[in-house]
Amino acid sequence: MKEVSSLLGYRESIKVMDATLRDGGLVNDFNFTDEFVKKIYKANIECGVDYMEMGYRASKKVFDESKFGKWKFCSDDHIREIVGDNDTDLKIAIMADIGRHDKGDFDQKANSPVDMIRVAAYIHQMPEAIDMIEDAAKKGYETTCNIMAISNTQENDLKAALDMLGKSPVDVIYIVDSFGAIYPEEMARVVDLYSEFTAKYNKQLGIHAHNNQQLAFANTIEACGDGVNWLDATYNGMGRGAGNCSMELLLGFLKNPKYNVYPAFKFIEDNMVKLKEDGIVWGYDLQYLITGLLNQHPRTAIQFTKDKRTDYAEYYKDMLI
């Protein structure tokens, strides 16, 4: 049983990462206005958030630039239009999605407003992920590796990947519950497994959760209580499908006086309410519970949502085949 002091006190080592533009961008094809992005940047500073992920730096050879908002590509120039020289305590992260990125798009850190490259990869892409991490580290960036879909991964493969990452220059290894399939008591065991390697290789550990079973916040604070320091959240939980751990919940939970929840409430009422009114849809619903429960990718549930279907029982039967 965890100690009372872990709830009333705080760990200086905890870092909060706002992933709204990146994971939330998957909901609206990254069509955030500059005004919205400036406001979320300001909110993060006021909330005491440690890192802000601006989006993906996707390869324009893979994706048609005209079909997405600019935060799918996150050029240094576009980021600078928002953050200038970013003379704040908030650090800037972007994500490279292995297989859909281009190393050539990443300048030296000295020439970029970006502080951290987060490398997202499936387990079979580990060598390419490590190649990217090495390149980014050499250029001067902080790096993370976010191994996706681990609820579908064999434990032996995961151990091999963690060992490879341990030997790489990566700074933070993220536990990613892509399918929202993990229960908190499983999360405790996952943290235990990852911790063997992060302790051995002196790496930091992070958590990125999805809300398919209304467990994104619960899994995040479970992991936090188990020693995970890097915590992902998004305002109003905005993120793909059922969304993520809500920033307002996480900031309410964390006791470090440097974090403030009030600016999060203000940002949400001024900006997120309108997004929802404009028809952008994310968050818990039965189709996402179903993919979470069945440990599957949410893509069919996202289509179900787009089609405005509510025949959950029929969908469930289809998913069982």
234: left (phi over 0), alpha (psi -120 to 50) or beta: beta
Decide if residue 318 touches a second copy (CB under 8 A): no
Decide if residue 167 touches a second copy (CB under 8 A): no
Q: Are the C-beta atoms of residues 107 and 140 closer than 8 Å to each other? A: no
Q: Mask of contacts with a second copy, 206-235, x by CB under 8 A?
A: -----x-xxxxxx--xx--x----------
Here the tokens at position 259 are 């974090």
Decide if residue 246 touches a second copy (CB under 8 A): yes
Which positions from 35 through 74 interact with a second copy, judged by CB under 8 A?
A: none
Decide if residue 265 touches a second copy (CB under 8 A): yes
268: left (phi over 0), alpha (psi -120 to 50) or beta: alpha
Q: Are the C-beta atoms of residues 131 and 155 closer than 8 Å to each other? A: no
Decide if residue 23 touches a second copy (CB under 8 A): no
Q: Are the C-beta atoms of residues 255 and 9 closer than 8 Å to each other? A: yes
Decide if residue 184 touches a second copy (CB under 8 A): yes
Q: Mask of contacts with a second copy, 271-300, x by CB under 8 A?
A: --x------------x--xx--x-------
Q: Which of 6, 75, 88, 300 binds a second copy (CB under 8 A)?
A: 6
Least spacing, CB of residue 262 vs a second copy, in Å: 6
Distance CA 44, CA 25 (A): 17
Distance CA 115, CA 169 (A): 15
Q: Which of 166, 266, 280, 281 binds a second copy (CB under 8 A)?
A: 266
Q: Are the C-beta atoms of residues 123 and 153 closer than 8 Å to each other? A: yes
Region binding a second copy by CB under 8 A among candidate stretches 55-63, 80-88, 94-102, 241-249: 241-249
Decide if residue 77 touches a second copy (CB under 8 A): no
Distance CA 17, CA 234 (A): 8
Nearer to a second copy, 125 or 236 (CB): 236
Q: Are the C-beta atoms of residues 212 and 243 closer than 8 Å to each other? A: no
Least spacing, CB of residue 232 vs a second copy, in Å: 15
Paired residues of 117 in beta bridges: 94, 143
Least spacing, CB of residue 101 vs a second copy, in Å: 33
Distance CA 119, CA 146 (A): 6
Distance CA 204, CA 118 (A): 13
Residues that bind a second copy (CB under 8 A): 1-2, 4, 6-7, 183-186, 188-189, 192, 211, 213-218, 221-222, 225, 246, 248-249, 252-253, 261-262, 265-266, 268-269, 273, 286, 289-290, 293, 310-313, 316-317
